[in-house]
């Protein structure tokens, strides 16, 4: 059980922290209010894109119902009717029954429902998991359609990893309802049209053989150079040995050391010459092979052409 002195210390610590916490909350609310006012000023001058950004910043600091209503208003002016409806709906769900803003928000929701075009997207069954669909540049979930759209032309992009992708351009009239089948396009081939698995394999070989061949040549030349230097050093040690040994090959200390060092340098020279020769031969073979492999027929460019999209098409 905590002793009274410990309890008192903890209580004092919380008391000391409380003003700081209160000030931090107050600063956040004050900053949110300043951002809100900047959003209102932007909306009054007709800059609704700026207004939405400032309202979003304000809402992150202080998620008020009034900020949600203003977010709905600026999104509605930008033609983002789906987002506007979501903001209005969230604001309405958080209002108390006697809130005098309820009738105005309901009227805005009714106006959106009345004037919006509705587009249902039907993603093809063979579309892979992770297919991304964007409408007017915003990612949407086809399963949550129909989308509420303003009248006008709306670009739709459907993409997936390993697929060519597809673009659609849909013109919607006010109050119109339409369904559209969408797909990420044809699956990309692993071999370009006009090529073959054999030519692809040859191209792959050429890709890794050339740098290895160049590296082998470089190391081979360096090894030959080291072997030459080692050979020169071995000859020098032999001369020192001869100068310090008599006809019966009896040597002083310097002659014995020179004989040992000369044998070592001779072994190094022989080994590096052998390694260098092997690497030089390997490098030449790989470079020649890579050049031969690169002579595979060029792929046809027909598979890279773009077809006209019209209402919908692949790219």
Alpha-carbon span 142 to 183, nearest angstrom: 11
The C-alpha angle 303, 165, 190, rounded to 5 degrees, equals: 50
122 and 111 belong to one structural domain:
no
* pLDDT, position 250: 65
User: Residue 111 is part of a domain; what is its CATH number?
Assistant: 1.25.40.10
Q: What is the residue-wise DSSP string for 50-102?
A: HHHHHHHHHHHHS--HHHHHHHHHHHHHTT-HHHHHHHHHHHHHHS-TT-TTH
For 159-162, the CB contacts below 8 A with 24+ separation are 159/131, 159/132, 159/184, 160/127, 160/128, 160/130, 160/131, 160/132, 160/184, 161/128, 161/130, 162/128, 162/187, 162/188
Which among 223, 221, 238, 215 has a CA at the least distance from the CA of 268?
223
Task: Based on the fold, state whether residues 132 and 105 are members of the same structural domain.
Answer: no
- Domain membership of residue 165 (yes or no) is yes
For the chain, how many structural domains are there in total? 3
Which pLDDT does position 96 carry in this prediction? 92
If asked whether residues 125 and 206 sit together in one domain, one would say no
pLDDT over 70 (residue 119):
yes
Residues 6+ apart with CB under 8 A from 70: 36, 39, 40, 43, 51, 55
Mean residue pLDDT across the chain: 75
In a domain, 47, yes or no: yes
Lowest mean pLDDT among 36-50, 58-72, 124-138, 212-226: 212-226
Whichever domain contains 176, its CATH number is: 2.60.40
Is 94 contained in some domain? yes
| Cis amide prior to 86 (ω within 30 degrees) | no
DSSP of 250-271? -B-HHHHHHHHHHHHHHHHHHH
Q: Is the pLDDT of residue 304 over 70?
A: no
pTM: 0.44
Given pLDDT bands bounded at 50, 70 and 90, which one contains residue 11? very low
pLDDT (0 to 100) of residue 15: 42
237 or 9, which is more confident?
237
Output DSSP code: residue 125.
T
- Tell me 130's DSSP state: T
Q: Is residue 54 included in any domain, yes or no?
A: yes
User: Percent of the chain scored above 90 by pLDDT?
Assistant: 18
pLDDT score, position 69: 92
302, part of any domain: no
Question: Same domain for 174 and 239?
Answer: no
Q: What is the pLDDT of residue 201?
A: 57
174 is in which domain, residue-wise? 117-190+307-314
* Cβ atoms 179, 195 nearer than 8 A: no
The H or E element containing residue 119 is strand 117-123
Are both 207 and 173 inside the same structural domain?
no
Q: Which residue has the tokens 């409380």?
A: 18
Residue 298 maps to a domain = no
Q: Quick one: pLDDT at residue 294?
A: 60
> What's the mean pLDDT in 124-149?
86
Same domain, 16 and 104: yes
**Are 77 and 162 found together in one domain?**
no
Look at residue 299 and tell me if it is in a domain: no
Residue 110 has pLDDT above 80, yes or no: yes
Q: Does one domain contain both 164 and 180?
A: yes
Q: Quick check: 278 pLDDT over 60?
A: yes
In a domain, 167, yes or no: yes
Q: For residue 304, what is the DSSP state?
A: G
Q: What is the arithmetic mean of pLDDT over 6-13? A: 42
Q: Give the residue-averaged pLDDT of 214-231.
A: 71
Tell me which of 116-125, 155-164, 237-246 is least confident.
237-246
């Amino acid at each position: 059980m905590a002793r009274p002195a410990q309890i008192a210390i903890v209580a004092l610590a919380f008391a000391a922290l409380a003003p700081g916490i209160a000030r931090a909350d107050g600063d956040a609310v004050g900053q949110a209010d300043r951002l809100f006012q900047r959003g209102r000023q932007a909306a009054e001058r007709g800059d609704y894109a700026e207004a939405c950004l400032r309202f979003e910043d304000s809402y992150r600091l202080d998620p008020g119902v009034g900020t949600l209503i203003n977010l709905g208003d600026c999104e509605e002016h930008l033609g983002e009717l789906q987002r506007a409806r979501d903001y209005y709906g969230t604001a309405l769900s958080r209002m108390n029954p006697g809130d005098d803003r309820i009738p105005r928000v309901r009227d805005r929701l009714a106006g959106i429902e009345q004037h919006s075009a509705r587009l249902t997207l039907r993603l093809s069954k063979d579309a892979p998991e992770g297919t991304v669909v964007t409408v007017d540049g915003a990612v949407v979930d086809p399963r949550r359609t129909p989308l509420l759209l303003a009248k006008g032309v709306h670009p739709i992009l459907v993409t997936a990893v390993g697929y060519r992708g597809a673009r659609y351009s849909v013109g919607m009239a006010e109050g119109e309802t339409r369904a559209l089948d969408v797909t990420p396009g044809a699956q990309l081939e692993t071999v370009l049209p006009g090529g073959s698995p054999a030519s692809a394999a040859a191209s792959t070989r050429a890709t890794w053989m050339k740098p290895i061949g160049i590296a082998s040549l470089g190391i081979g030349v360096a090894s030959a150079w080291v072997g030459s230097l080692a050979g020169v050093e071995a000859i020098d040690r032999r001369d020192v040995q001869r100068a310090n040994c008599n006809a019966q090959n009896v040597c002083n200390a310097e002659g014995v050391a020179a004989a040992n060092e000369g044998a070592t340098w001779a072994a190094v020279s022989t080994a590096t010459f052998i390694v260098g020769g092997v690497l030089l031969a390997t490098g030449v073979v790989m470079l020649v092979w890579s050049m031969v492999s690169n002579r595979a027929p060029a792929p046809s460019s027909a598979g890279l052409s773009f077809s006209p999209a019209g209402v919908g098409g692949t790219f």
